[in-house]
A and B are shown apart, each in its own frame.
Chain A
Amino acid sequence: MQDFKALVEGQRAYLLRYARLQLRDPHAAEDVVQETLLAALSGRSGFAGRSNLRTWLTGILKHKIVDAIRRLSRESPLAGEEEDADFEALFDQRGHWSEMPAAWPGADSALEQKEFLIALEQCLACLPAKTAQAFMMREHLGLETAEICKELGVTPTHCWVLLYRARVALRRCLETNWFAT
């Protein structure tokens, strides 16, 4: 038992990094990791060597994160997001690009670079809270839009708008901070 506890504890730093990608509040991230570790220790039989320990813990953590998001969005609903003037400037009045996106050479090799992933995290941190939340639930937790709408209390159309805004903003941020340099 002592060994199992040490193994589980050994994953704490990893789980915390994962939780912080989803929850901006560091205390909330600490809390879900703590809950995950406790659940893991009391539900050890659920593990039973079926999978990799980290994968198993991450699975528990994902549920705890969704619970936390639900709780947080009930306690303090995120306000409607302000229209971003920058965003509107992307297209002219007829809906054509103001500046055509150019190709990103070497994008795939960027995935192997630690510096790139740090730049990506920094770009994520610049997104408005609700936009970032919807985007990370979709792309990082891998939830379906219907579930995201339910947890965030928004309509599907609004959800698609949030995801669109996140993608457009991230694309621009990475272009400026990584691919253009």
Chain B
Amino acid sequence: MMLSCKEVTELVSQRLDRRLDFGERLAVRVHFAICSGCSNFARQVEFLRRAVRHLGHEPDRP
């Protein structure tokens, strides 16, 4: 199953919200091996999750 970058980014987002099935996980992994754009996208949406959790929890602002 070859997925387009658009389809991969949708799965990359969904895997933060649900468990992907085996075929989906495999397709994403295969795609990452050949596409640095989607690998970067995945790292960045995970970073967004960490960043948003920081909001409102940082020390008081002066």
Contacts and interface: CB of A to CB of B under 8 A. Distances in A.
Interface range on chain B: under 10, 10 to 19, 20 to 34, or 35 or more? Answer: 20 to 34
Given A14-B60, A21-B56, A102 B40 contact: yes
A145 interface: yes
B51 A111 contact: yes
A140 B17 contact: no
Interface string B25-40: 0000000000011101
Interface in B15-50: 16-18, 36-38, 40-41, 43-45, 47-50
B14 A160 contact: yes
B52 A140 contact: yes
Interface of A: 13-14, 17-18, 21, 90-91, 94-97, 100-104, 107-108, 110-111, 114, 116-117, 120-121, 124, 135-136, 138-140, 145, 159-160, 163-164, 167-168, 170-171, 174
Q: Closest 6 CB pairs between A and B?
A: A95-B4, A100-B37, A95-B6, A164-B13, A18-B56, A139-B52
